[in-house]
Structure 1
Amino acid sequence: MDARMQINAESFYNKMRNAGYASDEISFFTMLKFYEDLKDNDKVELLIAKMIEENIPLSRHSFNIWLWSCQNQESLDKLFKQAQRETTCDSSLDLFSSIAIMYNELGQLEKAQDCLNEIESRITDEHYKFSYLANLCGKLRNKHELYRVWENYNSVFPKYSSDRYSSVIYYLFKMDDIEDAEKIYEEWLSQPDGSDSEDIIEELGNDDSDSNSNSNSKYDSDSDSDYGDVIDEPRNYKRNYLLYCYVNKGLFKEAETFFNQMIQVGIKPNPFMWENLALLHIQERRISKALSCLRKFFSARGKGWAYLPSPKTVRYILKICVEESDGASQKALYQIFEEARISKSGFVILKVTLPCLKNRFILLVSFAKDAKKKKSLHLNIDGGVVNGDYAQQKCS
């Protein structure tokens, strides 16, 4: 935008102001957005000052523009004080979180702590308070506050809860404090299995950032499946969570050591563990070992359950196969799914056309015979990029 257009816009706005039409927050926001696009932070602050002077409440949108136009700590301090006064501002928690993160980046840890205290005072639900503050402490890498929030929550709800432990372990991993995370894990492992263990398993199954589906889906199956019952080891969902954290953090040596120690003491891995180990090998581009883990994934399933690997796991393998022109591994992946058929109750089909042929389309279909539903994984390979996801469909 040239200078003439800016002058014309400002002149028109001033005429509206003088006529008494541009006196509400929406009119100010239009100009705030205008100056934000021009990256004119000084003009943003001047408009904000006018709004405060005329007692015009700031919406969350106006606060956000002001926040990202702050040029120094003095500007941020003014914003923080105004945000404390604006009790009507919606999404104030997210605003204070953003201010805390900016203070933290400026090295103003006490100011960041003030934001945490402000947030804590505004949340009345203790469950939500723990979840929100624990997440923010992870972003701020504030271990001391994470422990304090956790202890406060435990004092209000002393009953054992798995999701509390898993949250603290997850955020300690984000802070690179692996030693303390392992200590919390040992304490968690010593606790009896809680009723919320299935929630942790579901959380791991849904951890596919580029997928909207349940990556470890299960569907109805007849009782006459050839697979035996899954008798999962006690506390295996806890062990798998730690394994997941190792893999997610890229700590491959620690993950392999932990997995091997489980095997040595006679613990039988469940399908989730084998898939996490497969992801470890995928990140190291050890496709043959990843495929071996997928075979064991299917063998670890049992009667009444038909888990499928996460779509992202299959995509990652295929992507590497395409990049390395590894047709043999693609065929091996097809054979794994073909061999994993569930007799009588359903079947799994994986049709693979290798990249060397004209049709580069891959289709995975899995459905139970009497379930009236089927799950499809469509994977399109185009220029070495693999996309796809499980999708619910009714059988025709």
Structure 2
Amino acid sequence: MISSLVKLGDFEEAEKLYNEWESVSGSGDARVPNILLAAYINGDKMDVAENFYQQIVQKGISPCYTTWELLTWGYLKKQQIEKVLDCFKQAVCSVKKWNPNEKLVREVFNKLEDLGDTEDAEKLLVILRDAGHVSTKVYNSLLRVYAKAGKMPLIVAERMQKDNVGLDEETHKLIKLTSKMRVTEVSSSF
């Protein structure tokens, strides 16, 4: 019912029905509030989504992977990169085995590339590495961020080798391109 009301754009009735469900359910199931959370985020109502998220947590509902992923998408729309990375990390850490949402990974890297944000791109790489999800595609995304920023990443080939990730034609081109740029400092998180 809540989902149908949301699809019809009747948030007021959906919220009433949710509150009624919440008062009698006690299940702590995050899937039901995620319907409203998704609707708020998709409707560009991130402030409402944040308040709703706080309310459900205060009522003892533990966020699940989907909750964190929804918040990641919402913060990505708002370009709040620190919150994007925090929620993304929470999403990945909330499951035993993470099945990567390739579209989400790509979109986060695309936003970081648009911003030329190498520091946060490196943080994203660490999150992905900790989740066991580094690949040539991920490293190429990282290198594109560096290229956009006009910076040279240090020891990329060595890091890729350490992560057992192969270099492809695009990787070689990006390393060659960025090798002519100004040097950046290496973080201890590598």
TM-score by length of structure 1 reads 0.33
CA drift at 1:274: 0.6
1:240 and 2:73 aligned: no
Question: Structure 2: which 5+ runs fail to align?
Answer: 148-169, 171-190
CA drift at 1:188: 4.1
| Structure-2 separation of matches of 1:285 and 1:316 | 11
Say if 1:169 and 1:312 are closer, same or farther in 2 by CA, change over 3 A.
Answer: farther
1:256 and 2:50 aligned: yes
- In the other structure, the counterpart of 2:121 is 330
Residue of 70, 79, 102 corresponding to 1:276: 70
- In the other structure, the counterpart of 1:352 is 139
| Structure-1 separation of matches of 2:2 and 2:101 | 21
CA contact (8 A) 1:275 1:309 kept: no
Greater strand share, structure number: 1
1:179 and 2:12 aligned: yes
CA contact (8 A) 1:271 1:300 kept: yes
| Structure-2 separation of matches of 1:288 and 1:235 | 27
CA contact (8 A) 2:3 2:35 kept: no
CA drift at 1:190: 5.2
- 1:9-48 Cα deviation digits (max 9, x unpaired): xxxxxxxxxxxxxxxxxxxxxxxxxxxxxxxxxxxxxxxx
TM-score by length of structure 2 reads 0.66
1:290 and 2:75 aligned: no
CA drift at 1:331: 1.5
1:340 and 2:131 aligned: yes
Report matched runs for 1:54-93 at 5 Å.
Answer: none
- 1:260-285 Cα deviation digits (max 9, x unpaired): 12222333211110111111110100
1:307 and 2:89 aligned: no
CA drift at 1:308: 3.0
| Structure-2 separation of matches of 1:182 and 1:330 | 37
RMSD: 2.5
- In the other structure, the counterpart of 2:6 is 170
| Structure-1 separation of matches of 2:43 and 2:121 | 27
Greater helix share, structure number: 2
Given residue 44 of structure 2, which amino acid in structure 1 is its aligned partner? G
Higher gyration radius (CA): 1
CA drift at 1:186: 2.5
- 1:226-266 Cα deviation digits (max 9, x unpaired): xxxxxxx6321101111111111111111000111222233
1:320 and 2:111 aligned: yes
- 1:92-118 Cα deviation digits (max 9, x unpaired): xxxxxxxxxxxxxxxxxxxxxxxxxxx
| Structure-1 separation of matches of 2:25 and 2:59 | 20
| Structure-1 separation of matches of 2:77 and 2:48 | 14
Say if 1:267 and 1:192 are closer, same or farther in 2 by CA, change over 3 A.
Answer: closer
CA drift at 1:310: 2.8
- 1:270-305 Cα deviation digits (max 9, x unpaired): 111011111111010011210111111122113xxx
| Structure-2 separation of matches of 1:191 and 1:172 | 25
| Structure-2 separation of matches of 1:191 and 1:266 | 14
SS of the residue 2:95 aligns to? coil
CA contact (8 A) 1:189 1:238 kept: no
| Structure-1 separation of matches of 2:3 and 2:36 | 11
Given residue 320 of structure 1, which amino acid in structure 2 is its aligned partner? K
SS of the residue 2:134 aligns to? strand
Say if 1:308 and 1:287 are closer, same or farther in 2 by CA, change over 3 A.
Answer: farther
